[in-house]
Amino acid sequence: MDPKWTLSLLAAILHTVASAPESVFAQEGNSVTLIMQWHNNTDIDSAVWFFNQSCDIVRYYPYYNKSRQVRVTDPYKGRVEFDSTTFSLELTNPQKNDSGLYKGEINADGRKAVSEYRLNVLEQVTAPVLTVESVLSSGDLCNVTVTCRAGDLSLTSTCDISTCTQEEQTAPSSLAISIKDDLIICNHSNPVSWHHATVELEMMCQSTQHKKHQKTSIWIYVAVASGLLLFVLVGGVLCFQMHSKNQAGSSSAVNQSVEVSTFLSLFLKSTLISYSLHKSLCGVAPFGLGFVCLCSPSYSWP
């Protein structure tokens, strides 16, 4: 290729890159200023700002009468401020439909200076809601799965003590979940605003372990109570049968009635004795001790 063509092509590429509009972000309702890139002390002939190439916003002619120097077009009256010293343009209350290409031109002694901006007017993001979906805790390990929601956006992540899984997002506003100082943080942000929500990892893990311990304890209590009840019933029947055999030779209808009453009295005594021993011995099956005493040959029946 001819070196001249190569140089021309490179110059064109550099010009295109250099003249690419600068991206500017503004929050809806908050003023934003676009700076005219002019660093020459030469007096200018005119300064103009355009919107999307064709729509005039303001024109400035320094050589006109003062009342006619700055001309703001009707759609922008009361919405923009023009600085006749720096030639900058301020949008005082930008809305989403003000997003677009802004171009400023200065003419001075036949030369032209151009400044271009791609303005993006964005809404303030909403506060996210962080929900705990599940907690898996075992020993020193704990994984918490959370879902963060904000508007139409949703992001689910699983976090341990040091990291959280991430998903790529390319929306104008985005969600990100991270962990820092034992806090799981969901951040909802765009280039002009942000909000966040948090949950404490350690608290969620401790709560889950406490619930597991409670469930285990309840089942232990149920099993022990069931075993004791069965032991009491079986022991009572055996004691009654043993006593009935010892008294079989001399029993009568009246004596049998007395023995039933005696058994009920002994059953109550056994319960009270067992409870008292359980309190003092702590951990020994209460009812069993009472019936051991009642059923032993050395026990004197009333």
Instruction: Kindly tell me if the per-residue pLDDT of 242 is higher than 80.
Output: no
Does the model's pTM come out above 0.85? no
Q: 20-122 falls under which CATH superfamily?
A: Immunoglobulins (2.60.40.10)
Tens-digit pLDDT profile for residues 115-165:
999 999 999 999 999 999 999 988 778 999 999 999 999 999 999 988 998
Residue predicted with more confidence, 257 or 194 = 194
Tens-digit pLDDT profile for residues 45-96:
999 999 998 899 999 999 998 888 999 999 999 999 999 999 999 999 999 9
Tens-digit pLDDT profile for residues 250-269:
555 445 555 555 655 655 56
The residue ranges of every structural domain in the chain are: 20-122, 129-206, 213-295
pLDDT > 70 in the chain, percent: 61
Q: How confident is the model at residue 42 (pLDDT cuts 50, 70, 90)?
A: confident
Q: Is the dihedral of CA 270, 272, 275, 281 positive or negative?
A: negative
